[in-house]
Amino acid sequence: MSSEAPAGAACLTHRETPARWACRRCGAFFCVACERRTRPDALPMCPACWELRSRNVVDQTSKPSTAIFTASLVLGIISLLPLPVVMFVSLVVGLMALVRAKNQFEAQRWKPIVGLVLTVLSLLGWFLLLVLAA
């Protein structure tokens, strides 16, 4: 988004500081203290263009998907059927959802827990049936 500033250019915000970058969008010169980046390896933006971007770009973490929690619950219910593949997938998805819920979605934590409990009960039930049948 930016390119190197020409020699002798001063930061628009900090007039006494030499500019490091020239914004390709608006042409403003800015120093290292003013640069804003979307990720560490991205080219920086000037503060004004960053502010404009923040008004127009929806932060993906502001509306996270909670589908994995519901999927974990549904798979836990379906795992009560005699389908070993579904039981395995239910365990994997349930554990992934539980780890994700631990980090940021406390209110959704009950779904993977219930899904995992149902899956474990199903596995125990099928194991007992196999043992009794043998």
Tens-place pLDDT, residues 74-128? 999 999 887 888 989 999 999 988 888 776 667 778 888 899 999 999 999 888 9
Pairing of strands 21-23, 2-4: antiparallel
**How many Cβ atoms from other residues are within 10 Å of residue 117's Cβ?**
12
Tokens of 25: 């969008």
Complete edge-to-edge strand list for the sheet that includes strand 2-4: 2-4, 21-23, 29-30
Residue ranges per domain, the chain?
A: 2-56, 67-133
* Band of pLDDT at residue 59, cut at 50, 70 and 90: low
Q: Are 115 and 73 contacting, i.e. CB atoms less than 8 angstroms apart?
A: yes
* Band of pLDDT at residue 33, cut at 50, 70 and 90: very high
Backbone φ and ψ for 21, nearest 5 degrees, come out as -130, 155
pTM above 0.75, yes or no: no
